[in-house]
Every structure is written in C-alpha cells, then in structure tokens.
Amino acid sequence: MKSNKDVTIYDVANALKISPSTVSRGLKDHPHIRKETIKKIKATAHEMGYQRNKFASNLRQKHTNTIGVVVPKLNSYFMATVIAGMEKVTNQHGYGLIISQSQESGKQEISCVTTLFNSRVDGLLVSLAFDTKNIDHFNVLLNKNIPVVFFDRVSECSGCMSVVIDNYKAGYEATYHLIDQGCKRIVHLTGNLLRNVYADRFRGYKQALADNGILFDQKMVIISDLNEQAGIDTAKKILNMKSRPDGIFTANDTSAVATIVELGKAGIKIPDEIAVVGFNNEPISKVVQPNLTTVDYPAREIGEIAATSLINKLTSSRSDNLSIIVLKHSLIVRESSLKNKKS
C-alpha cells in the first residue's frame, strides 16, 4: 500500500539497524563512515524514496541558496535572454532562481516581492513594471539586509545596485541617425515615461532634435504598451496624419516591426518615405523586410552582470560601493533607415 508520508533518516536507520546520525553522515559522505556503509545507506535511502529536505537544511544555515527574479513579463525575447544570462551565473555558483512576473502591474509587483520575501530568497533581481510609482515595497528586504539589484528598468534606491545602458545616449544616437538621413518629422513611439529606460530615450530624442534645429512637437510622441498592437495602431495614426512623418524611432523592436508591416500594407515604402529605427536588436529585426535598424542592448550580459553583482554582495565580506553599472550599447544600421543609400 502506497503512503504519502515522507521517508526520514530515522526510517532509513531502522531499516539498516544503525543510528540516525550514521545515516545522516553517510548521506553526506562523511570520511569517518566506511565506503561500504555509505554505499548501503545511499542505496537503501534511494530504494525507500528518501528526499533530503534541502530547504530546512538551508534555513538552519540562514540561507536558502535561492535568488528571486521579478520581471515585467516573460513573453519577451529581451527578458528571456536576460534570464538566460542570470541562470548561467547562478548555476555556476550553486544558486537556484525563482522567477515571477509583474505583468506590467505595480500592484502585482508588490505581490511578487512579498511572495519571494516569504520564500526566504537570499537576494532579489528586479526590473520594474510600467506603472510602479515608488519602491517602498522593497524595504522589507532591505531592512533584513537582503540585497536588491535592479536591471534595465531601475529606480534610485539607497543601498541598491543598478545595471543599465546609457539610454539617453542611445536615444540621442538613434534620433540623430534619422536626422542624418534627412528626416525632419520624427515620430517617437515610447512606453510609460515613469520608467527610466523610456524617459531617458525620450530625453535623447528631444535633445537630438534641439541640437539639429528641429522644433519638438508633443503630437509626434506616442506613449503605448510597446507591443505588436501598439505598432499597428501607430501606423494607422500616421496614415491619418495630414502631414506624415518621414522618420520613426520606436523604443523597442516589437512595435517597430509591427509598424513597418502595417505601413507596408498601406503601400508606404520603407525607408524611402518613412525611415524606421527600433531598439533591442531582437532576432525579428533581421527577419522583417527591410531589415530593421536598431540599438543593440546586451541582454545576456546584463543578466550575467546583475546576477554576479548580487552573488558578490551575498558572498563577499567586502561591501561593493558601486551603485550603478553602465554597459555599452551600439547602433546597428540596416536598410529600414537608410534614405541616404551611400551611408
């Protein structure tokens, strides 16, 4: 008859007629236990279905060897690549990841953080949701000296670390490139400006316009969820404009590609009539026709460095004074923006 009762070291000890302490040491390959006995203990434990309660063991040592990750959404190539970078590092150091998604909701983000705190994670890696207005919900971890590292979408936080790129510079370069191709009316499709990534890219966009004597027009800025539908809606909005733009800078590749496809259906020639630049350098940027000019955002490297920084905080007695790490980005020029074919 099957039983749902967990098998303990006491059950193994009774089966072998030895002490529980001998079983415990044997399962840990203690040098004072004979190899033959260790082999017999492990074989019996396996046969009986014994499972080591690693969680309880770690709690006794005041750590769980788990790291929490909170991301806005998982159905994103960029975020999946970031997590792959994190897993590479955490696996090498013997840590597991518990991943949760806020679904772009600040309220859900609070719930995720609470759940991970109650799961006793050793540290937290976080990219903020669209509408998170403050970061007070992280205080419960910080007050317990549980380190928090923000990446991509970050916020000012005393005692926290952030891993980002220079989004202001990237936004400036993307917009300047369009201007250099002869564009004078440039639409900027962006996300919620509460978030640093979109606010900084927007600032770069505005500064590039100003430096080239182009007046900023708020009507040329479209704030959206930056998904496929946002790209379709943007294209439709552009088609209805009396004076159409000659350039588009979108804050991610997903919306850029959707915009290109929708404009193409309406007979708009890209880049001859409207040049387009995206952001993130996702695989889809090399599939769409014409191939999409975009900003290369080193997602895997961000994941690796964020995870490494957190583990260093957990394992090093020396405090890391760095508050922000800025990684290099690059503008990758492809056909979607080349009005000037000689560029």
Q: 4-15: per-residue pLDDT in tens? A: 577 888 889 999
Question: What is the tally of structural domains in the chain?
Answer: 3
| 208 belongs to a structural domain | yes
| 57 belongs to a structural domain | no
Cα separations (Å) of 281 from 26, 102, 263, 333?
A: 52, 24, 21, 11
| 135 belongs to a structural domain | yes
- Residue 233 belongs to what domain range? 167-297+331-337
Residue 27's pLDDT is 87
Q: How many helices (H) and strands (E) does the chain have?
A: 12, 12
Same domain, 41 and 94: no
pLDDT tens, 57-94? Answer: 555 556 789 999 999 999 999 999 999 999 999 999 99
Tokens of 189: 């499709």
By C-alpha distance, which of 328, 302, 318, 315 is closest to 149? 302
pTM: 0.83
Q: What is the DSSP letter of 280?
A: B
How many C-alpha atoms does 329 have within 13 Å on its Cβ side? 27
How many C-alpha atoms does 170 have within 13 Å on its Cβ side? 31
Same domain, 141 and 82: yes
For residues 171 and 163, give the distance between their C-alpha atoms in angstroms, rounded to a whole number: 18
pLDDT tens, 187-245? Answer: 999 999 999 999 999 999 999 999 999 999 999 999 999 999 999 999 999 999 999 99
For residues 103 and 120, give the distance between their C-alpha atoms in angstroms, rounded to a whole number: 22
Same domain, 120 and 14: no
| 284 belongs to a structural domain | yes
Share of the chain above pLDDT 70, in %: 93
Tokens of 13: 């000890």
For residues 195 and 152, give the distance between their C-alpha atoms in angstroms, rounded to a whole number: 10
Same domain, 182 and 284: yes
For residues 331 and 217, give the distance between their C-alpha atoms in angstroms, rounded to a whole number: 24
Same domain, 210 and 132: no
Tokens of 150: 């923000």
- Which residues, in sequence order, are CB contacts of 238 under 8 Å at separation 6+? 187, 244, 245, 248, 259, 263, 274
Same domain, 220 and 245: yes
Tokens of 273: 């009539």
Same domain, 135 and 218: no
- Which residues, in sequence order, are CB contacts of 61 under 8 Å at separation 6+? none
| 60 belongs to a structural domain | no
Q: What is the maximal distance between C-alpha atoms in the chain?
A: 89
| 58 belongs to a structural domain | no
Same domain, 92 and 14: no
292 and 248 Cβ atoms separated by less than 8 Å: no
Does residue 1 register a pLDDT over 60? no
User: What spatial distance separates the first Cα and last Cα of the chain, rounded to whole Å?
Assistant: 77
Same domain, 243 and 202: yes
Task: Provide the pairing of β-strand 330-332 with 294-296.
Answer: antiparallel
Same domain, 46 and 194: no
| 233 belongs to a structural domain | yes
How far is Cα of residue 207 from the mean position of the Cα atoms in its chain? 27
What is the per-residue burial (b if ≥16 Cβ within 10 Å, else e) of 221-245? bbebebbeebbbbbbeebeeeeeeb
pLDDT tens, 295-308? Answer: 999 999 999 999 99
Same domain, 190 and 289: yes
pLDDT tens, 102-160? Answer: 999 999 999 999 999 998 999 999 999 999 999 999 999 999 999 999 999 999 888 89
Neighbours of 283 (CB within 10 A): 9
CATH number for 15: 1.10.260
CATH number for 290: 3.40.50.2300
For the chain, list the strands marked E by DSSP. Answer: 66-71, 96-101, 123-126, 148-151, 161-165, 186-190, 221-223, 247-250, 275-277, 294-296, 324-327, 330-332
| 80 belongs to a structural domain | yes
Same domain, 161 and 303: yes
